[in-house]
């Protein structure tokens, strides 16, 4: 499978309950098998070696698009 980063949200400092406001647009292709993955990282300054992965999730875009309101 091909993975590529399509966007990043803003960094929210010193908050245990962050609310992100940035939207990331993703092209949805009907009939295609498109898996979307989201990863949450504790960003520690500019040193990537110190960043901790807090969690992630993935789902198929078709499941989201076909879900009831």
pLDDT digits (tens, 9 = 90+) for 3-42: 889 999 998 888 889 999 999 999 999 999 999 999 988 8
Helices (H), the chain: 61-65
Interatomic CA distance for residues 34 and 61, integer angstroms? 6
Query: Quick check: pTM over 0.85?
Result: no
pLDDT at 45 over 80: no
pLDDT, mean over the chain: 88
* 24 contacts: CB under 8 Å, gap ≥ 6: 6, 7, 8, 9
């Amino acid at each position: 499978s091909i993975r590529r980063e399509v966007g990043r949200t803003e960094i929210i400092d010193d908050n245990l309950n962050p609310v992100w406001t940035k939207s990331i647009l993703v092209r949805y292709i009907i009939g295609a098998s498109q898996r979307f993955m989201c990863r949450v990282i504790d960003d520690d300054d500019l040193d990537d070696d110190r960043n901790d992965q807090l969690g992630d999730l993935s789902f198929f875009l078709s499941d989201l698009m076909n879900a009831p309101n």
